[in-house]
Structure 1
């Protein structure tokens, strides 16, 4: 099940805020020793999504240090990997005899069984980040090689790392498109992406389960399509070539998703165009220009496809979206 939990300090008395935050963090993650120069009036908020055994979170807080000590490990160890990704600010990490500083979109792996110290700060502004907790047994990767990545920074602005950061950011920002029953499926997507990030870093991608490689490849293809919707030459042939796979294999991937490649591309383009038509900022832009912007070079083709999908021509849709009927006036005109 998908379960969402939100907690923050803004509604508490200043003197109670830091202790409340300490307790929430311990329950959400693992027991930690926390310190902050802002402890007397601590500002923080966190949102946690439980996706079965996987937990995704987003957080904003004042400068804060976390200490996972040997004593706390002996007290409680959930046997999890903790992944932290700063969005605004930096994480300064000390473990064993090593130190490192990681900035926005760098993916960091922590092990609840290993001691470390982390300082998260963003100068005088709130630090913000996203991350997740996942049981170690859910990652089917060589444990010894995976342990070498602990507290190492992995790129989150390119490749599969960028897919992971984008997916977590969107999911943590808004879970409303999903049903509670979607939780396990979303947990599987997160696990697959995380496994692919680590496997790439360890150069062990062939060791991933076939279903994980397939789902990750499909996500890569979808992200590629989203980035290139404006290109009217974005065809199944071009997509297959860009990913070094055959056209027939590409079609098989999307058959498992219960839609054709071309149909999905067309739907994405129409949806982007529909949003632009309803956007007041885009109102000076001609409809044919919006169509061309999203990969429809022929206005007639766009109009026909839009009408078939949304039940009206794009011109009528724009007029209704930008100038909706005055409900009060309509009510007054009723007999």
Structure 2
């Protein structure tokens, strides 16, 4: 068995915002046994087997803190089984929320079976026997895990156990927000500081808890902090989705989320910019992307302005010059 501690992890270093672990860092002959140790260290003890053991590939990117962690995993198809003996020997008492990028994953726990694929997720626990099978489609499977310590979960008295072995949809509401957020998290964390990265993971955990509470029909069990975080993320997603609407204002955003404008501004008090400034910045970023994209060369600046919610090209020109130091026309003229 290889010495895991003697094998250096590839960059970034352990104190960076994203910790990367990959079988690429060890000799090919040792990769399968090394990956088994990684899974035990990072997740929990399981018995794993794979028809791809002789040419196995696995990698994970971990974002977060000792309390909360989001892990993006890519590995060759395998089957993992957690036994009662392994639970008695060592139980970290964690829940994991798992989302698959596309390929199906079958999770059996508490006499239920969850089939996880695009548009769905499932919850499993380290405290109950478990079978997890990655359906072999001939290529590595991509999934995301959100670790939620049982002691920190606001869903008390084992209420979350009711969701074990069930397929949970991610096609609407808080679950859809969570899925979209997790898809963007690794890339966002790579450019963040370590404290910012931990905060990003904490937001993911709040969204995950919110999604679970909705599936349990128990939103009242959430802490005020968790509800506030989830609402703030919902509002950011709403803004991104409606940037092309010239009527997008703090008043319309507040009305659509059934809160007062004052409450909306209070939500943004800890943000680096106001609601209106955030809308303006995002619109200008979209305009700039279109102006520097050859695929949009055939569209007029007026069309691009309207596409992103500017009522008049003149409104865009003044705001764009203030942000980028040149006019939209000058930007387009210097774009290949």
The aligned residue for residue 145 of structure 1 is 159
Inter-CA distance 122–317: structure 2 relative to 1 (3 Å threshold)? farther
Q: Does 1:289 align with 2:306?
A: no
The aligned residue for residue 55 of structure 1 is 69
Q: Does 1:98 align with 2:112?
A: yes
* 8 A contact 2:120–2:169 mirrored in 1: yes
The aligned residue for residue 219 of structure 2 is 205
- Distance in 1 (CA, whole Å) between partners of 2:167 and 2:194 is 33
The aligned residue for residue 232 of structure 1 is 246
The aligned residue for residue 179 of structure 1 is 193
What TM-score do you get using the length of structure 2 for normalisation? 0.89
Aligned partner of residue 6 in structure 1, secondary structure = strand
The aligned residue for residue 88 of structure 1 is 102
User: In structure 2, which of residues 9, 13, 18 is the aligned counterpart of residue 4 of structure 1?
Assistant: 18
User: In structure 1, which of residues 166, 177, 186 is the aligned counterpart of residue 180 of structure 2?
Assistant: 166
User: In structure 1, which of residues 114, 118, 142 is the aligned counterpart of residue 128 of structure 2?
Assistant: 114
Query: How far did residue 45 of structure 1 move?
Result: 2.2
- Distance in 1 (CA, whole Å) between partners of 2:115 and 2:73 is 19
- Distance in 2 (CA, whole Å) between partners of 1:105 and 1:48 is 23
- Distance in 1 (CA, whole Å) between partners of 2:296 and 2:309 is 17
Inter-CA distance 301–48: structure 2 relative to 1 (3 Å threshold)? same
The aligned residue for residue 170 of structure 2 is 156
1:309-320 correspondence to structure 2 within 5 Å: 309-320=323-334
Describe the superposition over 1:233-281 as per-residue Cα deviations: whole angstroms up to 9, x where unpaired: 2222221221122222222222342532222111111111111222232
- Distance in 2 (CA, whole Å) between partners of 1:150 and 1:198 is 11
The aligned residue for residue 294 of structure 2 is 280
| RMSD of equivalent CA atoms | 1.9
Inter-CA distance 135–84: structure 2 relative to 1 (3 Å threshold)? same
The aligned residue for residue 327 of structure 1 is none
Describe the superposition over 1:150-179 as per-residue Cα deviations: whole angstroms up to 9, x where unpaired: 232222222111111121221124423311
Describe the superposition over 1:23-54 as per-residue Cα deviations: whole angstroms up to 9, x where unpaired: 11111111111111111211222222233421
Query: How far did residue 114 of structure 1 move?
Result: 0.9
Task: Indicate the larger mover: 107-116 or 180-189.
Answer: 180-189
- Distance in 2 (CA, whole Å) between partners of 1:100 and 1:73 is 21
Inter-CA distance 184–127: structure 2 relative to 1 (3 Å threshold)? closer
What TM-score do you get using the length of structure 1 for normalisation? 0.90
Count of residue pairs the alignment pairs up: 322
The aligned residue for residue 268 of structure 1 is 282
- Distance in 1 (CA, whole Å) between partners of 2:303 and 2:154 is 48
Inter-CA distance 2–203: structure 2 relative to 1 (3 Å threshold)? farther
- Distance in 2 (CA, whole Å) between partners of 1:7 and 1:189 is 23
* 8 A contact 1:83–1:108 mirrored in 2: yes
- Distance in 1 (CA, whole Å) between partners of 2:302 and 2:191 is 30
